[in-house]
């Protein structure tokens, strides 16, 4: 049996006396589609920050495949195949989509330091970047500065930047956050069309989306894993209903 | 054909961004005008070219990578003293002196880049300021070597190629400084239009995202800081050689502040910003100080405040906006 694509052991983090992650034990099998749900302030984004190295844990271990990545810098984790997107757009406002994705591909190929060559000599890099954009239906908009793109397109670019790192594991922090419901479908269709080899964990508040796209659900409450299981198990879990599903949906 | 055409091939599009604009060619042709139109101002012209080169080096770190420095004169001064001392004690041949100045400043730049690349914002400004002041005091106190506040005397430069003496009128000096400026500019232009240039803009546009795309921003900053320091050293060496002296002013805080002002005036983050800013600043200083030598910073102050308030992207930023509007209609 292969090692899980991503796993954590006893992962804990607190800010002063406030514990934002308690003994988190996760295991994402290769190719899985996991949803991470939980009320506001449950520590979902914190967990992504811990796994990607943007926050340092107080205790615990993070494994990417069979490698312990707990002490690695964020960029080193990305190079090993662990990428993320951000809930709040974290893009390059002054670059256009083609430049931004070309930058990511250039970083991955190790040619981002080549200051003596015109960028246009890296034909394959540029074409790979364009292919990623075209796949995410951003091909037509890729010459427009990011800050001028409609918000929904910017959300797609968030995903494009992460995909361009060729991740094995992709963590999506509310990919459709702030997008009107009628447009969020397009974003999740893109997510659903990603390669089956890619292991996926996404945070999402819309339960219709969660139950439609996730193969497995993790419920986080107060920084700890409250429940996890298949969508059917989670839907039937009375405790989950009480703390989360029973309440009004997050606004 | 519009570049926004869907059909434009991505590679061709990126290539087109680095194509020479006719205005650029006109700009460089215009730099030759002083030889024929203002032969009595060639010394000033050579100072402008040298300062423009210095401003270009600051633009690489500030305008592109977003690294603000208040101590960039340290590298200018290191280059100036290195070239001056080299000519005094070793050899007066100008090209080897330039190389010595650039390499030494580059080494200091590389060493300090390990600190610089870890910080941003106010901390970074204070760090560069502090390092700049340190460099100044070292030069000031090493009187036996640098001449301290009396300046370094006895710098003597051999004729260029063994043929062209550095004359009083500045023909050789301007030709030399302009050639150096142009060649380094070509290199900087290539750098900006490379994947590395793109990475620098990425750092400027979003520092937080860079690690999340697998980029090592610190390594990029170390690299560009070293390159910028070497170019600053080269410009300092040029000044030492063309004036055959080095004063303490060349490593002073005032010079660090002035070059920042020039870059902001001209427009940071555009290759010609530093060049245009340096020309405006130096010509204004020359003209105003003829009228009232003590008060000429008053006018620079007014100019700076006006530009920052009215044209946040500098004079070139304002012009390019006007140009875009004019073409759009």
CB contact under 8 A, A74 and B211: yes
Which of A51, A64, A73, A120 should one mutate to test binding to chain B, selecting the residue with the greatest count of B CBs within 10 A? A120
| Yes or no, beta carbons of B212 and A86 under 8 Å apart | yes
pLDDT over threshold 60, residue A32: yes
Contacts of A55 (CB under 8 A, 6+ apart): A13, A46, A49
A103-157 pLDDT tens trace: 999 999 999 999 999 999 999 999 999 999 999 989 888 999 999 999 999 999 9
Contact A95 B227 (CB under 8 A): no
Question: DSSP characters for B83-135?
Answer: HHHHHHHT---HHHHHHHHHHHHHHHHHHHHHHHTT--HHHHHHHHHHHHHHH
Cβ of A115 within 8 Å of Cβ of B205? The answer is no
A145 Cβ under 8 Å from any chain B Cβ: no
Taking chain A, what is the end-to-end CA distance rounded to the nearest angstrom? 41
Quickly state the pLDDT bin for A202 (edges 50, 70, 90).
very high
Q: Is A168 on the interface with B (CB under 8 A)?
A: no
Best of A111, A118, A169 to disrupt the B interface (most B CBs within 10 Å) is: A118
Whether the pLDDT of residue A250 is over 60: the answer is no
Give the model's pLDDT for residue A245.
Answer: 55
Q: What is the pLDDT of residue B1?
A: 40
Q: Which residues pair with A36 in a beta bridge?
A: A203, A218
Write the residue in B6, B191, B206 that is nearest to A92 by C-beta: B206
- The Cα of B157 is separated from the nearest Cα of chain A by a number of Å equal to 32
B268 CB neighbours in chain A (<8 A) are: none
Token output for B81: 């003293």
Q: What are phi and psi of B6, to 5 degrees?
A: -60, -30
Question: Would an 8 Å CB–CB cutoff place A148 in contact with chain B?
Answer: no
Tell me what pLDDT residue B295 has: 81
In sequence order, what DSSP letters do the residues of B274-313 get, joined into one string?
Answer: HHHHHHHHHHHHHHHHHH-GGGHHHHHHHHHHHHHHH-TT
ipTM: 0.91
Is residue B70 a contact partner of residue B257, using CB atoms and an 8 Å limit? yes
Cα–Cα distance between A110 and A103 in angstroms, integer? 10
pLDDT confidence band for A238 (50 / 70 / 90): confident
Residues in A closer than 8 angstroms to B211, CB to CB, are 53-54, 73-75, 78
pLDDT grade, residue A251 (50/70/90)? very low
How far is residue B169's CA from residue B44's CA, in Å, rounded to a whole number?
Answer: 10
Domain spans of chain B, in order of start? 36-251
Please list every residue in chain A whose beta carbon sits closer than 8 Å to the beta carbon of residue B6. Answer: 139-140
Which residues does chain A have within 8 Å of residue B227's beta carbon, measured at their own beta carbons?
Answer: 115
> Between A and B, how many residue pairs show a Cβ–Cβ distance under 8 A?
143
SS (H, E, C) B186-254: HHHHHHHCCHHHHHHHHHHHCCCHHHHCCCCHHHHHHHHHHHHHHHHHHHHHHHHHHHCCECHHHHCHH
Q: Is the pLDDT of residue A188 over 90?
A: no
Which of these, A237, A219, A245, A229, lies nearest to A24 by C-alpha position?
Answer: A219
Nearest CA in chain A to B213: A104
């Amino acid at each position: 049996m292969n090692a899980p694509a991503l796993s954590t052991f006893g992962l804990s983090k607190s800010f002063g006396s406030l514990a934002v992650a308690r003994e988190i034990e996760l295991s994402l099998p290769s190719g899985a589609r996991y949803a991470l749900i939980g009320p506001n302030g449950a520590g979902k984004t914190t967990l992504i920050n811990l796994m990607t190295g943007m926050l340092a844990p107080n205790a615990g271990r993070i494994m990417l495949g069979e490698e312990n990545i707990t002490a690695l810098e964020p960029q080193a984790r990305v190079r090993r195949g662990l990428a993320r997107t951000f809930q709040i757009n974290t893009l390059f406002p002054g670059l256009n989509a083609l430049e931004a994705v070309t930058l990511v591909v250039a970083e991955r190929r190790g040619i981002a330091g080549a200051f003596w060559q015109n960028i246009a000599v890296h034909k394959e890099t540029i074409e790979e970047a364009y292919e990623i954009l075209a796949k995410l239906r951003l091909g037509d908009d890729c010459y427009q500065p990011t800050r001028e793109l409609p918000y929904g397109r910017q959300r797609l670019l968030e995903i494009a930047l992460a995909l361009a790192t060729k991740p094995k594991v992709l963590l999506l922090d509310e990919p459709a956050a702030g997008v009107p419901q009628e447009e969020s479908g397009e974003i999740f269709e893109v997510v659903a069309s990603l390669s089956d080899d890619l292991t996926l964990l996404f945070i999402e508040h819309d339960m219709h989306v969660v139950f439609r796209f996730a193969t497995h659900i993790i419920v986080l409450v107060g920084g700890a894993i409250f429940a996890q299981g298949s969508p059917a198990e989670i839907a039937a879990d009375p405790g989950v209903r009480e703390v989360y599903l029973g309440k009004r949906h997050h606004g | 054909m519009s570049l926004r055409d869907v059909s434009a091939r991505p590679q061709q599009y990126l290539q087109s961004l680095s194509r020479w604009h006719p205005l650029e060619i006109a700009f460089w042709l215009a730099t030759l005008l002083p030889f024929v139109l203002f032969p009595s101002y060639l010394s000033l012209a050579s100072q402008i070219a040298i300062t423009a080169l210095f401003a270009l080096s600051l633009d690489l770190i500030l305008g592109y990578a977003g690294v603000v420095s208040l101590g960039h004169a340290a590298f200018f001064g290191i280059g100036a003293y290195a070239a001056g001392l080299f000519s005094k004690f070793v050899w007066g041949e100008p090209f080897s002196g330039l190389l010595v100045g650039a390499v030494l400043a580059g080494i200091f730049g590389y060493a300090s880049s390990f600190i610089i690349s870890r910080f941003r914002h106010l901390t970074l400004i204070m760090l560069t300021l502090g390092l700049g002041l340190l460099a100044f005091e070292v030069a000031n106190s090493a009187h036996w070597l640098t001449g301290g506040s009396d300046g370094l005397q006895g710098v003597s430069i051999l004729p260029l190629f063994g043929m062209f003496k550095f004359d009083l009128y500045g023909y050789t000096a301007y030709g030399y400084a302009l050639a150096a400026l142009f060649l380094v500019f070509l290199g900087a232009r290539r750098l900006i239009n490379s994947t590395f240039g793109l990475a620098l803009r990425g750092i400027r546009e979003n520092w937080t995202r860079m690690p999340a795309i697998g980029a090592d921003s610190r390594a990029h900053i170390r690299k560009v800081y070293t390159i910028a320091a070497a170019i600053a050293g080269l410009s300092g060496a040029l000044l030492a050689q063309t004036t055959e002296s080095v004063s303490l002013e060349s490593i002073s805080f005032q010079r660090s502040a002035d070059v920042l002002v020039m870059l902001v005036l001209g427009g940071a983050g555009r290759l010609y910003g530093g060049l245009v800013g340096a020309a405006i600043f130096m010509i204004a200083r020359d003209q105003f100080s003829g009228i009232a030598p003590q008060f000429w910073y008053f006018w620079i102050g007014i100019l700076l405040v006006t530009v920052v308030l009215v044209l946040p992207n500098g004079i070139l930023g304002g012009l390019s906006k006007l140009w875009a509007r004019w073409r759009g209609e």
